[in-house]
Chains A and B, each alone.
Chain A
């Protein structure tokens, strides 16, 4: 049997039943289209969360105090009330750790920032000069403060874009100006580059940075620090850095083996994977729903093929009587099924890609059409055609020519 002829036979048979072929295809089109779109939505949101998280500095390590003793009733104290992290902790880590490049103690004070008649409620973060490197943040204009400023608790600050917009007039250069924060005048020595929102929707540009000593002594009057930020050599070594910092701090805090840590060490990588695993779950869920519709499409093919074998029994008998072998009949029906599912698959892929783009355009949801989802749904399609087409096709090929001809 000439394979080309088989395709011709199957093609002609499909043409004779255009409507039926199209309706069968519709199941596959919707199935594949929704798989592609759903996965694109899932992947898109995952990607955008990832992008946003990495703007926070992907090597960043955050050390916060935590309580290792439960007070009466089992309640633990919140981290802001804890005073277990100190400046010497940061110094020791800086001296002993091999896996970190920068370290910065951090304290935060909130208050009104005032310039002339304009004011804006915000917070001031007291950090060391290395903090900008940890956050992978650059200055738009001006200069960073120095270790000397830290030593003298100098009243200098860097301000974020949101602050500039809210308390400075258009076209006004803030560098060199004085602003007041909690009634204390600070000299603006630099403006931070715009960073946008972080993964939690917080405006990262709504910030004022000053030497940590300044915030500790002049604003809060506290000796301890609230957070210590550090930066690992690279993303891979952040796990090693975490372990190292933990052991350094345990020694520093003189904890016994039986004691729990009185601090927590978090890496940005951890945060990324926690959040992406949530969106991974979302992707899987969406894909599962869409997969079910693909399955229904497949069963549609089987149903149509099954009915069509019954309905076309006479045709099968005739074909056999003029010389079609069982295998010719089998292949004809199989090719019809595969053709329907592949064509439906192609249309479905196109539709899915278009739908994903339309969703991004109209709803501005991020979508990401991945090649793997296209290839996968395409393979599933071809498989569906073979799988659901085979059984009815095999039945057709086993028919007895005379009985098939007699069939009414």
Chain B
């Protein structure tokens, strides 16, 4: 039996805006086993980003319990949360969020600079390995503005991988990319999931993308409306091969 990596019970998140209170999450419970590939779907404003930020220890719930690797997040300090983000979680954003005027290699090294257990040589080696894993070994010295959107997102994924996190969280990581590039990213995610056993939580709008995951949770108005296991996981590799040849328009 797989171990539970993430366990949330009756999670709530409210935003106070003056006299009004926006209830973004209205009581959400689920748990995720190590090695799952979960997609979170839902219409705009349903609370996906809010949920993912809490799962990524960037934000704290207003109420409810959140156990990450059996550690109760609600009781941790700001600094402890920073350490968790650094060592257990890899975050991938829709907007890539790479440091400008900084090489791919240095961008990937960044999380390791905040990890005091890792020396300079180890840092360099791991950053190169990460970039190799996302097939960018030949772009180490490129600056973000010298890379395509898909390549920038792969650098961001390499950065998320470099600290060897137990879990990768992605918020519409393919939102800015075309179908082919999206499939490439998803294929990369599947590879990490299947070959390295990384747990992945992937927020997306597109049902198409969800079909590549092993489980899909659907939110609506801050509640879970559907939570289904996907029996027949599509292979992104095959889908990519099935796509019509590139310059068809």
Point out residues on A near B: beta carbons under 8 Å: 1-2, 5, 8-9, 12, 16, 314-315, 317-328, 401-402, 405
Contacts and interface: CB of A to CB of B under 8 A. Distances in A.
Nearest to A320: B82
Contacts of B86: 322-324
B99 A16 contact: yes
Interface string B41-64: 000000000000100101100000
A5 B113 contact: yes
A318 B82 contact: no
Interface stretch (B20-28, B100-108, B131-139, B187-195): B100-108
Given A402-B58, A405-B97, A5 B85 contact: no
Shortest Cβ-Cβ A-B pairs, 9 listed: A323-B86, A325-B82, A322-B111, A2-B116, A323-B114, A16-B101, A5-B113, A318-B97, A323-B85
Contacts of B59: 402
Contacts of B114: 1, 5, 319, 322-325, 328
Given A12-B102, A314-B97, A323 B56 contact: no
B106 A12 contact: yes
B78 interface: yes
A322 B85 contact: yes
A405 B102 contact: no
Given A323-B87, A328-B82, 16 more contacts: A1-B114, A315-B99, A317-B97, A318-B99, A320-B82, A321-B56, A321-B85, A322-B86, A322-B91, A322-B111, A323-B114, A324-B86, A325-B79, A328-B114, A402-B58, A405-B58
Nearest to A327: B79
7 contacts: A16-B99, A16-B101, A320-B82, A321-B85, A324-B86, A326-B78, A405-B58
Contacts of B56: 321
A322 B116 contact: no
B53 A402 contact: yes
Contact of B102 (A2, A16, A401): A16
A319 B110 contact: yes
B223 interface: no
A323 B85 CA distance: 5
B115 A16 contact: no
Given A5-B113, A5-B116, A325 B101 contact: no
A112 to B, nearest CB: 82
A173 B59 CA distance: 100
Contacts of A324: 82, 86, 114
Interface in B52-98: 53, 56, 58-59, 78-79, 82-83, 85-87, 91, 93, 97
Contacts of B91: 321-322
A321 B87 CA distance: 11
Contacts of B97: 314, 317-318, 321, 405
Nearest to A8: B113
A132 B163 CA distance: 86
A16 B79 CA distance: 27
Contacts of B159: 322
Contacts of B100: 16
B111 A405 contact: no
A1 B58 contact: no
Contacts of B113: 2, 5, 8-9
Contacts of B115: 323
A401 B85 CA distance: 11
Contacts of B87: 323
**Residue with the highest number of chain B CB atoms closer than 10 Å, among A2, A16, A321, A324:** A321
Contact of A326 (B53, B79, B93, B101): B79
B33 to A, nearest CB: 25
A212 B91 CA distance: 101
Contacts of A402: 53, 58-59
